[in-house]
Amino acid sequence: MPHRRTILIADGKPNTVPDVTVVMGELGYEVVAVSNALFQAMAVRYKPRAIVFGTGLPAGGPVSVLRRLRASVHTASIPAIALVANEEEKLTLLSAGADECMQEPASAADLLVTLRKHLATPRIVASASDEVLSDPDRLSALGNTKLMDTDPDDALDVLTRLAARILDAPVAVVSLVDDRRQFFKSQVGLPHPWDKLRETPVSGSFCQWVVSGKEELVISDARSHPVLKMNSAITELGTVAYAGAPLSAVMGQSIGSFCVVDGKPRSWDEDQMTALRHLGEMVDAHVSLYTPIKQELSAEAHEQQVRAATRAACRGFLAAARLLSSDHLPITNNDRREIVGMIEVHSHRLSKITTEQSAVQEKALAAGWAT
């Protein structure tokens, strides 16, 4: 098992970060050196009490790692200290999410003082990375789906009902997240008044972290989570246990979460998570197939979107097939009929957009010959 009290250090040059192993060991901490490439995975594994970046890391290394750390709910609350060579580097790393920067060369005594200061004060994180949530390309992709502030969708309602039943969860939601709020395109089991309002501020959302981190989020009891325990979804929506899979727009941008929620602590087993992933892939297929293709797009851009929708549809078909063939999930005959019905709907839609794509190609070829 990983050590419970760990300090992770990434150092691009030997001895850039002063050796504090002995003193930190006497205080009950284990100092672990990791490569820049493995830092994110090791941070999730070890859940360190603090992280330290040395100088000499590959260009952009600490910046990209810091941004990934701050985007993930699993690592957003970990204090980060960076050694820097100059003022420009300091400003860049502070902007990326470092809590404090120390000028190189730093002494072991100074690093110990800084570490102890941050270890004594919890890092308070209230929301996910605004840099990700407000990204113009992501928001444009979400807007292109034309799903925000629209009526419930019968096909998506089928998938939320299936998720709630198969995972034995009182609540299941297709949640779309922009930079201000989460919108419930489809839901089953949400308490009043949220079932009628169909949205909350993004600050009261667990789904924001699925979007920010572009990763699954599996929580057994949010009340004990270092970040989520302060989220208003616990008190207002009754969210205690949560499992969410990221949803993507046609071209792959993270736009929301397909999630299930329980008002009491619980574990989500691997079969349940597999089912949630498969149903989420069917949601992605539906979103991609029904995202309008702008008429003003060039023939090349039109073809690119059709290809992306086709890939999403194929993933959805494969996911549906795996659900239908599963021996480990409580899928009823009625569930099977609804899944087969979804396959038929998506097949017809895919046939339609590929036929339209052929017409666009023929028109483009004709225009080329005419010139």
Pair 156, 110 in one domain: no
Band the pLDDT of 308: cuts 50, 70, 90.
very high
| 1 is a domain residue | no
Structure tokens that stand for 293 in this block = 């293709």
The pLDDT of residue 371 is above 90: no
Pair 106, 141 in one domain: no
Domain coverage including residue 21: 6-120
Beta bridge partners of 275: none
| 371 is a domain residue | no
**Rounded-to-integer distance, Cα 11 and Cα 7, Å:** 13
| pLDDT value, residue 57 | 62
Mean pLDDT of 51-61: 72
At 149, which CATH number? 3.30.450.40
Pair 152, 71 in one domain: no
| pLDDT value, residue 362 | 66
Pair 215, 233 in one domain: yes
Domain boundary among 69, 100, 120: 120
CA distances from 332 to 152, 166, 270, 291, 326 (A): 24, 9, 19, 31, 11
| 210 is a domain residue | yes
Pair 86, 191 in one domain: no
Mean pLDDT of 295-324: 89
Pair 316, 349 in one domain: yes
Number of folded domains in the chain? 2
At 49, which CATH number? 3.40.50.2300
- Note the pTM of the prediction, 2 decimals: 0.89
Domain boundary among 60, 85, 120: 120
Q: Long-range contacts made by residues 137-142, C-beta under 8 angstroms, separation at least 24?
A: 137/253, 138/211, 138/253, 138/254, 138/255, 139/178, 139/179, 141/249, 141/250, 141/251, 141/253, 141/255, 142/176, 142/177, 142/178, 142/249, 142/253, 142/255, 142/256
Pair 255, 343 in one domain: yes
Could you read off the pLDDT of 218-253 as tens digits, one per residue? 999 999 999 999 999 999 999 999 999 999 998 889
CA atoms within 13 A on the CB side of 86: 2
Domain boundary among 71, 95, 120: 120
Please check whether residue 293 is in contact with residue 306, taking contact to mean a CB–CB distance below 8 angstroms.
yes
Q: Collapsing DSSP states into helix, strand and coil, what is residue 32?
A: strand
Could you read off the pLDDT of 89-147 as tens digits, one per residue? 889 889 888 999 998 888 999 999 999 999 998 888 988 989 999 999 999 999 999 99
CA distances from 216 to 39, 210, 259, 279, 302 (A): 19, 6, 9, 13, 30
